[in-house]
Amino acid sequence: MELLGLYNYWAFAVVLMTGLYAVITKGNLIKKLIGLSIFQSAVFLLYITMNKVDGGTAPIVQKGVTDQVFSNPLPQVLILTAIVVGISTTALGLAIVVRIKESYGTIEEHEIQNLDRDS
Amino acid sequence: MILTNHLPALQVVVPLLVAPLVVLMRVRGLPWAVATTTSLVAFAIAVGLTNTVLDSYSVTYEMGSWRAPYGIELHVTSFSALLLLIVTAASTLTLVAGKQSIDTEIEHDRQPLFYAAWLLALAGFTGIVVTGDAFNIFVFMEIASLASYVLIAAGSDRRVLPAVFKYLIMGTIGATFYLIGVGLIYMMTGTLNLADMEARIHEVGELRPILVAAGFITLGLILKAAIFPLHAWLPLSYTYAPHIVTAFLAACSTKVALYVLLRFDFLVFQQNLPAHEVQFTVFLMPLAVLAILIASGVAVFERNLKGLLAYSSLAQVGYILLGASLVSVPGLTAGLMHMFNHALAKGTLFLAVACLGMRFTRLGLVNLSGVARQMPWTMAAFVLAGLSLIGVPGTAGFISKWMLISAALQEGALGVALVAVIVVSSLLAVVYIWRVIELAYFGDPTEASQLANEAPAWLLVGTWVAALMNIYFGIIPSFPLSLARESAASLLQHLP
């Protein structure tokens, strides 16, 4: 039961590996990037899971309330930054894929390799 | 003076703020001038910080006056000073010398963006080195990496695109692994400040997540540092990147990742995980040995000049790691010295390549046959740096290899085997450098190399300054040596 109670961490591991699997096995460059995004999202889940405190609410100080339990806001801030980094990476990756398509005429990995071998 | 108190922050902030301004500069030559000046300022700041560190051991700076460990703390030690000097000097020298090479490779209207990416890369690398905050390292690592992808993708050969795509995928996986590790440590200790982490980890009774974190962080940084067998992104990226970009990145990018690796493993994990130093050696020494032997072996058969030097870089990263994996003060000192000396040698070699690149569109070894008759100064600088790479006495490379061998010999029978590895790999280095020299000096001139004339004077001067530094630090190594000694001693202070 204890193991099942940690279902958020199970989800993290499954999503992480799904993403990594897509990155490794897919030959289409766009699919690789999708896999990479899934891979990164898993880490967001890890951080967001750890900030939750049982019964905790948003960390806003209210007048007269002294016994309130707060969730930890720091991981949320960190992950906001990590999401921005993830978006930049995906954007740059897509830009490179566009240029690959322009100069090779394909976005399939093995076709690119064949073209390179011939030249 | 008040300004000097802010040097750790200015080191990062100056290039970071100038980068977006450079994008707006449309006057020909201006982006280069501004980027070079900024890089020079960054170098001056690094020199200033080094002076302070040599006087007072370490400098801390509280960002926005938020008290550590709550705020982000910048922390400059002798180890960071060594890296700062490598990064800023490499950037400045390559920019000053490389204007003409960049002009031929990057169209004029793309240059503002190119120089902006360069400054972002500089800000990222220096940021990783000065910060004392684990998450901050991740952010700067990604700034540096994203900027590096852009710089590499500026290469004119289309094969650079799949190469940089591969680098992007692998670099991101590495950074994400690092992020997972940092998350696990934060989960257990509630802190992101490296100094605070050192103190708090052993309060944690359950060490399993920390152990997993150590695995993730080490693996992620091994990917970033291109240590065998996770090096696949490096050779092609370096081969097809613009020549000056290769010179800059080869001198510093993998070393910065190694810096983070050593800092985490020796300062954060060492005193908290049982027998960590043994695991460090058992896991990383075989990788270092394999990297040294296999990469040197591949370099011998490589047909492209830049590819050859890129594989040689992988072997040199192996040397640095081998020094560190001895986990002794002499070994680590040798490794750190090799960081400095390899940056010198490889920077010079790639600057010489940039000289050749001014006259040749293809840098296959066969194309360069007989080139030394037409470009004697370029090839002489190449030979000088090649000797330093091999480790001939009188050059910088000799100092660190000698130190590495004497450190290995203190390890008994294992040490003798390691010395054999170093000697074999040095002989392989002789072979692959000799291949280039033989073709350039004794090969029949090809059509292209008969038409080639000596590289532009300015680029040549930069190459020679770098080449002569190889000799200077080979004869008078006391300055980098004192930094390396102090860094090694402080990194290994927790050793039982």
Using a CB-CB distance cutoff of 8 angstroms, which residues of chain A are in contact with residue B70? none
Output the pTM of the full model: 0.92
Using a CB-CB distance cutoff of 8 angstroms, which residues of chain B are in contact with residue A50? 183, 186-187
| Positions in chain B short of pLDDT 50 | none
Going by C-alpha positions, the residue among B368, B246, B242, B253 that lies closest to residue B304 is B368
- A114: domain CATH number is 1.10.287.3510
Phi-psi region of B443 (alpha: psi -120 to 50; beta: other; left: phi over 0): beta
Residue corresponding to tokens 């000396």: B341
Query: For the residues A43-57, what does the mean pLDDT come to?
Result: 84
Q: What pLDDT sits at residue A119?
A: 67
Q: What pLDDT sits at residue A4?
A: 67
Q: How many Å lie between the alpha carbon of B177 and the closest alpha carbon of chain A?
A: 9
Q: What pLDDT sits at residue A114?
A: 87
Using a CB-CB distance cutoff of 8 angstroms, which residues of chain A are in contact with residue B180? 16, 43, 46
Distance CA B462, CA B465 (A): 5
Q: Higher confidence at residue B321 or residue A57?
A: B321
Going by C-alpha positions, the residue among B316, B469, B335, B461 that lies closest to residue B395 is B469
Phi-psi region of B162 (alpha: psi -120 to 50; beta: other; left: phi over 0): alpha
On whether residue A61 sits in a domain, the answer given is: no
Structure tokens at B218: 């080490």
The predicted-structure confidence for B39-70, as pLDDT tens digits, reads as follows 999 999 999 999 888 887 788 888 888 887 78
Q: What pLDDT sits at residue B1?
A: 53
For residue B134, give the chain A residue with the closest CA. Answer: A78
The predicted-structure confidence for B66-124, as pLDDT tens digits, reads as follows 887 788 888 888 899 999 999 999 999 999 998 888 888 888 888 999 999 999 999 99
Distance CA B77, CA B250 (A): 23
Q: What pLDDT sits at residue A3?
A: 67
Rg of chain A over Cα atoms, rounded to whole angstroms, equals 21
Residue corresponding to tokens 């190119």: B114
The predicted-structure confidence for B370-407, as pLDDT tens digits, reads as follows 888 888 888 999 999 999 999 888 899 899 999 999 99
Alpha carbons within 13 angstroms on the beta-carbon side of residue B66 total 10
In 10 A of CB B240, how many CB atoms? 23
Q: Evaluate if residue A90 carries a pLDDT over 90.
A: yes
Domain ranges of chain B: 278-496
Distance CA A41, CA A22 (A): 14
Amino acid at B179: L
**B154 DSSP 8-state letter:** T
On whether residue A62 sits in a domain, the answer given is: no
Q: What pLDDT sits at residue B205?
A: 56
- Check A39 against B161: CB less than 8 A apart: no
Q: What pLDDT sits at residue B20?
A: 92
**What is the number of domains present in chain A?**
1
The predicted-structure confidence for A11-41, as pLDDT tens digits, reads as follows 889 999 999 999 999 989 999 999 999 999 9
Burial of B209 (0-12, 13-18, 19+ CB in 10 A): middle
Going by C-alpha positions, the residue among B435, B273, B351 that lies closest to residue B89 is B351
Residues facing residue A108 across a β-bridge: A28
Domain holding A22, by residue range, is: 3-53+69-118
Going by C-alpha positions, the residue among B390, B369, B396, B364 that lies closest to residue B468 is B396
Going by C-alpha positions, the residue among B119, B92, B89, B105 that lies closest to residue B20 is B119
Question: Across the interface, which of A36, A96, A109 has its CB nearest the CB of B164?
Answer: A96
Question: Across the interface, which of B162, B176, B186 has its CB nearest the CB of A43?
Answer: B176
**Cα A103 off chain centre by:** 29
CB B22 within 8 Å of CB B31? yes
B209 touches chain A (CB under 8 A): no
CB B257 within 8 Å of CB B324? no
ipTM of predicted assembly, 2 dp: 0.93
Using a CB-CB distance cutoff of 8 angstroms, which residues of chain A are in contact with residue B183? 43, 46-47, 50, 75
On whether residue A48 sits in a domain, the answer given is: yes
